[in-house]
Amino acid sequence: MDTVSLVESSPLQVLCPLEHIPDGGATAVVAMLVDGEESVILLRQGEHVSGYLNICPHAGNRLDYAPGKFLLKNDTLICAVHGAVFQQADGLCTGGPCCGQHLRSVSIRVIADAVCLEPAGQP
């Protein structure tokens, strides 16, 4: 699974308050990455947040059916365009046209109830 490179030597980038993501839910935010601004999916389970680029590996479409609205079922994320099913925990596609491929991971950290990009080079 590829992890997206973050902007090197940049100050901490706060994406949103943790409370803006419902527990067990998802939202999309715009983040500044090495390749420029990208839509990032934030998936929350309690105090843990996972991040993935909002790009389906099948055809490059966004996964949301409306801006920031996602199809979630039983710890999976479903692409609204072609129905690919991804595990929320690791982004692995377990069903659909890109089975076996992964969403591109974005390193996320929750700091003082704020969802932030993991600084480049941090564990």
Domains belonging to the chain, first-starting first, are 14-117 (2.102.10.10)
What are the φ/ψ torsions at residue 57 (nearest 5 degrees)?
Answer: -70, -15
pTM > 0.85: yes
Upper half-sphere CA count for residue 84 (Cβ side, 13 Å): 25
Convert the pLDDT of each residue in 78-90 to its tens digit: 999 999 999 999 9
Residue pair 80/67 in contact by the 8 Å Cβ criterion: no
In the block, residue with structure tokens 């920031």: 68
Measuring CA to CA, how many Å separate 1 from each of 51, 77, 118? 13, 16, 17
The pLDDT tens digits for 73-122 are 999 999 999 999 999 999 999 999 999 999 999 999 999 999 999 865 44
